[in-house]
Amino acid sequence: MVDSKYEKAYKEIIPAARAALIVELSKNHGIKEDAISEYVGITQAAISKYLNGKYSDRIKSTMEKIDKEMLKEYTEKIRNETPRALNKYLCTACSKLNGFDCRFSANR
């Protein structure tokens, strides 16, 4: 059975977009795990797992497809406008990778 676009978003795209953001905040901006946890709204333990690459090959593959310029743009916005910018980033990444506009889109 093939996942619906919503299931793909939930299981693959959102975790990959989150992981890419976490790596960007940590490695390219030097932000510590506890601060990233505040920005992204998940536990520090989950942040640590993402930073240590403890996610599926499917998520790794999806991370590679994320638009790097969009990621950089939203990283700055998230640092200044959390949580609204986080929701916009996740929706934008999902729409681009999933190829559709969902009815939950924060970009509307």
H helices within the chain, ranges in order?
5-8, 14-23, 33-40, 44-51, 57-64, 68-81, 84-98
pLDDT score at 36: 92
pTM: 0.85
What is the rounded radius of gyration, in angstroms, for the C-alpha atoms of the chain? 13
Q: Write the pLDDT tens digit of every residue in 70-101.
A: 999 998 888 887 667 888 898 889 888 888 76
pLDDT score at 23: 94
CA distance 81 to 64: 25
Confidence grade of residue 106 (pLDDT, cut at 50, 70, 90): low
Q: Write the pLDDT tens digit of every residue in 43-60.
A: 999 999 999 988 889 999
Q: Give the residue carrying structure tokens 């506009």.
A: 101
Cβ-based neighbours of 33, under 8 Å, separated by 6 or more = 26, 44, 47, 48, 51
